[in-house]
Amino acid sequence: MEKLELTVQAYGSLEELQSNIRSALARKLPELAPAPTAHDGTFVCVASGWSMPDYIDEIKAHQKAGRPIVSVKAAHDFLCENGVKPDLWINLDPRDRTEHIKHANDHTVYLVASRCAPVTFDKLAGKKILLWHSWTDSDEQKALGAGKLAIGGGTTSGMRAINIGYILGYRKFVLYGYDSCNRADGIKRFTGEKTGPTLDVYVGDGPDRQKFVCNAAMAQQANEFQMVYTVMPDITVEAKGPGLIAAIIDERKRLKFAA
């Protein structure tokens, strides 16, 4: 079919359209924005648990397949040093954690919570930063004021990463380094750090019962992880490694809960 020769005048004069645009912008409404990275619906979160380095080749394969690699705090520099520039970096921590972003780069989009230390923003000056806000039921919220989207979902950057992914439209999550427990020798992170006081957490029953040694923050994260399925019933989660969160997922499957 040949292209028709038509002369069409769109509605509205230039002056009218410009006036409308300026009027709309002056309303300070939230604006529609695309996800900060292309994806196929899978959010690959990489935290700093002790098992994470064992899966670097899998993480590279995910990135090659076009899935976003989401670094949670300290995993950033390890990934960069091993050939994976994260697509996103997520930090909730109000403490100075700039030692974990020595390899800040122009590829990564840095999702920094407004509650983070000012030195974090200073360190990332000139890089791609997207500001987000943390929801809390404390007086901290008063500093944010009204009309801002605040994202809840747990006490750790790792848990907030899942919530951010969900808000961005992801429904499948693959977790690396979300061990939420110590290694047998007491190591808690891939960096070799050990925990202080610990408690024992058990998953399963009978001969399949497993014991995990955690600090209080790890145990709390495991509790919060279980709530994910309540508030996000349409997601699927896969956790790599032999840690506590992977065991929780396996136990849910054994009990015939959704994945």
Tell me the per-residue pLDDT of 128-147, one tens digit each, with 9 for 90 and over. 999 988 988 888 888 888 88
- In one-letter notation, the amino acid at residue 109 is V
Give the Cβ contact number of residue 81 at 10 Å: 10
Model pLDDT, residue 180: 97
> Model confidence over 212-256: pLDDT tens digits?
999 999 999 999 999 999 999 999 999 999 999 999 999 999 988
Average pLDDT over residues 37-47: 88
Taking every pair of Cα atoms in the chain, the longest distance, rounded to a whole number of angstroms, is 78
The pTM assigned to this predicted structure is 0.86
By the 10 Å C-beta count (0-12 exposed, 13-18 middle, 19+ buried), 231 is classed as exposed
Give the 3-state secondary structure of 203-237.
ECCHHHCEEEEECHHHHHHHHHHHHHHHHCCCCEE
Model pLDDT, residue 22: 80
In the predicted structure, residue 259 carries a pLDDT above the cut 70: no
> What average pLDDT does the structure give for the chain?
90
In the predicted structure, residue 9 carries a pLDDT above the cut 70: no
- The number of C-alpha atoms within 13 Å of 27 and in the hemisphere containing its C-beta is 8
Q: Rounded to whole angstroms, what are the CA distances from 118 to 121, 144, 150, 231? A: 5, 16, 19, 32
